[in-house]
Amino acid sequence: MKRREFLGTLTGGLLFAPFAAESQQSGKVPRIGYLEIASAELPIAQAMVEAFRQGLRERGYVEGQTFVIEYRAAAGRIEQLPDLVAELTRLKVNVIVASATPAALAAKQATTTIPIVSAVMGDPVGDGLVASLARPGGNVTGLTFLAPALVAKRLGLLKETVPGVSHVAALSHPGVYGEHTMRDMLKEAEVAAQTLGVHLQVLEARSPSDFDSAFSAMVTNRAGAFIVFPSPMFYGAHGGLVDLAAKYRLPAIYAFKEAVATGGLISYGPDFADLYRRAATYVDKMLKGAKPAELPVEQPTKFELVINLKTAKALGLTIPPSLLARADEVIQ
């Protein structure tokens, strides 16, 4: 995978400091507050904000002239989000872009007047961010990546990749989404596992420091493969998951293709960069006066199946030709 080089500098967790200063001096250029969960230094975080900026450029915006970004990053510490969004509200930004569900929830709790756009919401209705996809009804809207709805599909693809597997572990990040969404993801996985005739073992990881113990539990319980539930933390720390999967020789399916690009076996889900680019459309409309309550939440328009043949070979797996034929990208 080719990642775009990030434009701008990093200073104390703030990006685009020169542009922010210019905005403060002029008082005229619209300010976009960008609330990131992950560390600003992560290439993935940089790639997503660059995709968002590209979306703005495609709509005729010029950074530093027709918009500036006030960037705040929590470095993976969700508990820091309320303080960061409070900074953005004090700056009186015109709109807040929340990188994922936890950031959107923190922003919604902080303000009912500033429009909020989230690029990758897991289940905005289930998490109480919007009243409905068609009519959000509040100050939050954006895009969803259908967190619960795709769990069964991924489990089916994993079984197709490893036909003989009888025990599958599911790695979950507890509390990352609302109780309703977490319950729906688990239910979808349990129903799919029963249909596929596999035993499902759910393991939890609240931070990357829990990865080692989770993998030890997988091995102890003789899991033959595992599925990674969606989570911003797993997304940002996928390198650790991929390394441990290789160490323990465990096939895995992820919700994001970046894991496969760095050595993971298989992934299925939307193109997150595309969702961030599309989030710029919402910002454009809001800066022109549109109300988030009347802007429907959009769903992904494209889902990608990505397979890493090099990893499959290292695991001693032969990917079925029918699965390879359906793949959108095959990494040799």
The pLDDT tens digits of the residues spanning 19-58 come to: 343 434 445 799 999 999 988 888 999 999 999 999 999 9
CB 162 within 8 A of CB 251: yes
Q: Architecture of domain 10-146+272-294 in CATH?
A: 3-Layer(aba) Sandwich (3.40)
The predicted pLDDT at position 178 comes to 87
The pLDDT tens digits of the residues spanning 275-323 come to: 999 999 999 999 999 999 999 999 998 899 999 999 999 999 999 999 9
pLDDT under 50 in the chain at which residues?
A: 1-26
Non-local (6+) Cβ contacts of 81 within 8 A are 35, 37, 74, 102, 103, 106
Where b means 16+ CB within 10 Å and e means fewer, 20-53 reads beebeeeeebebbbbbbbbbbebebbbbbbbbbb
The predicted pLDDT at position 76 comes to 87
The predicted pLDDT at position 136 comes to 97
pTM of the predicted model as reported, rounded to 2 decimal places: 0.85
The predicted pLDDT at position 302 comes to 85
- H runs (alpha helix) in the chain: 17-26, 43-58, 81-90, 101-110, 151-161, 179-196, 211-220, 232-236, 238-247, 258-261, 272-287, 309-314, 321-326
- The ranges of the chain annotated as CATH 3.40.50.2300 are 10-146+272-294, 151-270+303-331
Strand bridging mode 225-228 / 167-172:
parallel
CB 48 within 8 A of CB 273: yes
The predicted pLDDT at position 301 comes to 85
Among residues 110, 105, 113, 151, which one has the least CA distance to residue 130? 105
Fold of 151-270+303-331: Rossmann fold (3.40.50)
Nearest-10 Cα torsion for 302, 4, 255, 247: 150
What rounded mean pLDDT belongs to the chain?
Answer: 90
